[in-house]
Amino acid sequence: MAETSARSYGRGAAVLSVGIGVTGLVTYAYFALASHSLSEDDYGDITLLWSAVFIVVSVLYRPVEQLLSRTIAERDARGQRGHEHLRVAATIQLALGVAFAVAALALRGPIQDELFGGSETLYWILIVAVLAYAASYFARGFLAGQHRFGLYGGLVLMEASSRFLFALAVAVGIASGQSVVALGMAAAPIVSLAVVPWAIGRSVRSGGVRRVSGHIDPKVAQPPTDEPDEVELEGALDAAAAGEPGGSTEPEFTLAHGGGFAAAVLLIMLCEQTFLNAGPLLVKATEGGAEGAALAGFVFNVLLIARAPLQLFQAIQTSILPHLTKLRAGGESDPFRRSVHVTLAAIAAFAALVALAMLALGPWLMELVFGGDFDYARGGLVMIAIGMGLYLSAATLNQAALARAQTKPAAACWALSAIAFVLFLVLLEFDDRVLQVEIGYLAAALVLCGLLYGLFRRGERPRAGRSRA
């Protein structure tokens, strides 16, 4: 079973790597065209809109994506049927979308005037884009949990490609202005939903459970005997699985169970977006005016060195959570550890290559891609590349923690690191604000990676000397 699961993980990561790798390049092209087609002030507003959209959607909707991915994979491993987990996840997602809409309408003045400089168009694009992504992230979690990575890759590639077309239209002169480029952010998730009705409808009609091997391994019906679980959902699943081999006794998946897991992951997502977007947003807030918007756009470009690989890493992140969850459900401790270590080694090699590239060609590459009048410091670009490697390693260790249901201690690690990062940016004030963001990002990523690695090691120690039936 471990070999079959490893091959499935490898194939899934490979398929997604191709699709999401192309997606990352297309996203780069979108911002490159926008940077060359718009003024520095207008481009700065585009980057702020992007940051606002993806802070909100990642914080609000990725917890449900992770909940679905983990729960569907575990239920599949245990041979459990039913659709209550889909209903619970949809209820949570709908409630989060409604909460956002209410908050955004109530805070229209500050959002429109202070964040977007009075632009009504950018405000409404934010509203439409965030609401459209609710369905997109639900579909992503559903597809990932069922290992339907081809459709997952197609969804995100369709999203990036449709967004790129809006920037291309402005670049070639078919259309003009900031509003057209921004509209791509609202249109992209709507266009990508073309795969959703077919994918969900087909799976529901087939019974909601996709059997990978056509049978249930009796071993996967045994409850895991790892460290104590952090969420009630895990305990419910274990109790039910212990009742009857093959998972014929089905646990009750309630809103409280799903909400507990999603709430902890929501905190993790909030901290994740703090790492990626606090720099540009705080620079904009402290500098103010047109100069602040332009400087925020520059900081955003620098952080794209860390952000763009996340597009590619999404392939690994998406496929490793259901993979590790199935290994844990089946009591496969050695393949679990090996999968994490191999992924960490690959990330280290990738980060080293990026750091060397930034050391040799970084300033030239950044000026070529983004243009503008800013000077990109070679040392700062190298720091961001190293921080990117540490951050991706932390994200891998986080997926291992979620697979083990260590959501609460993982969320604490993220919260401590994110708070330290923000305090560093707020309480200290460097003359070179870009350098401050670069140093802060590297240091915070190092702290986060160290804390999550310690959690990973602690999760291993209780297993020493145990034998599996």
Position 215 pLDDT exceeds 50: no
CA angle (413 as vertex; 410, 339 as ends), nearest 5 = 50
**CB 131 within 8 Å of CB 53:** no
Residue 90 or residue 433, greater confidence: 90
**CB 333 within 8 Å of CB 360:** no
Percent of the chain residues topping a pLDDT of 90: 30
390 C-beta neighbours (distance < 10 Å), count:
23
Q: Please compute the mean of the pLDDT values over residues 175-204 and round it to a whole number.
A: 80
**CB 268 within 8 Å of CB 411:** yes
CA atoms within 13 A on the CB side of 188: 33
DSSP codes of every residue in 310-339: HHHHHHHHHHHHHHHHHHHHTT-HHHHHHH
Give pLDDT, residue 11: 61
Q: Which two tokens stand for residue 303?
A: 């952080």
Position 28 pLDDT exceeds 50: yes
Give pLDDT, residue 209: 41
Position 226 pLDDT exceeds 50: no
Note the pLDDT tens digit of each residue in 238-266. Answer: 443 333 333 434 455 667 667 878 888 99
Position 439 pLDDT exceeds 90: yes
Position 114 pLDDT exceeds 90: no
Residue 322 or residue 225, greater confidence: 322
Q: Which two tokens stand for residue 107?
A: 């805070």
Whole-number mean pLDDT of the chain?
A: 79
Residue 235 — very low, low, confident or very high, per pLDDT cuts 50/70/90?
very low
Q: Please compute the mean of the pLDDT values over residues 160-175 and round it to a whole number.
A: 91
Tell me the one-letter amino acid at 356. Answer: L
Note the pLDDT tens digit of each residue in 342-370. Answer: 989 989 999 999 999 999 988 888 877 77
Least confident of 25-34, 122-131, 387-396: 25-34
CA distance 341 to 335: 10
Residue 15 — very low, low, confident or very high, per pLDDT cuts 50/70/90?
low
Give pLDDT, residue 99: 95
Give pLDDT, residue 228: 41
Least confident of 367-376, 396-405, 411-420: 367-376
- Secondary element (H or E) of residue 159: helix 149-172
CA distance 150 to 359: 36
Residue 127 or residue 75, greater confidence: 127
Note the pLDDT tens digit of each residue in 66-104. Answer: 888 888 888 777 777 767 788 888 999 999 999 999 999
Residue 195 or residue 44, greater confidence: 44
Which of 25, 24, 5 has the alpha carbon at shortest distance from 13?
5
CA distances from 459 to 254, 278, 405 (A): 27, 31, 11
- Secondary element (H or E) of residue 388: helix 378-403
Question: For residue 466, with 0-12 CB atoms within 10 Å meaning exposed, 13-18 middle and 19 or more buried, which class applies?
Answer: exposed
Percent of the chain residues topping a pLDDT of 70: 77
Give pLDDT, residue 225: 41
Which of 403, 311, 274 has the alpha carbon at shortest distance from 24?
311
Position 207 pLDDT exceeds 90: no
Give pLDDT, residue 196: 67
CA distance 212 to 7: 12
Q: Please compute the mean of the pLDDT values over residues 290-301 and round it to a whole number.
A: 74
Least confident of 13-17, 41-45, 142-146, 239-243: 239-243
Give pLDDT, residue 373: 64
Q: Please compute the mean of the pLDDT values over residues 387-396 and round it to a whole number.
A: 93
- Chain centroid to Cα 100, Å, comes to 19
Q: Please compute the mean of the pLDDT values over residues 50-64 and round it to a whole number.
A: 87
CA distance 139 to 133: 10
Question: For residue 93, with 0-12 CB atoms within 10 Å meaning exposed, 13-18 middle and 19 or more buried, which class applies?
Answer: buried
Contacts of 132 by beta carbon, 8 Å cutoff, 6+ apart: 186, 189, 190, 193
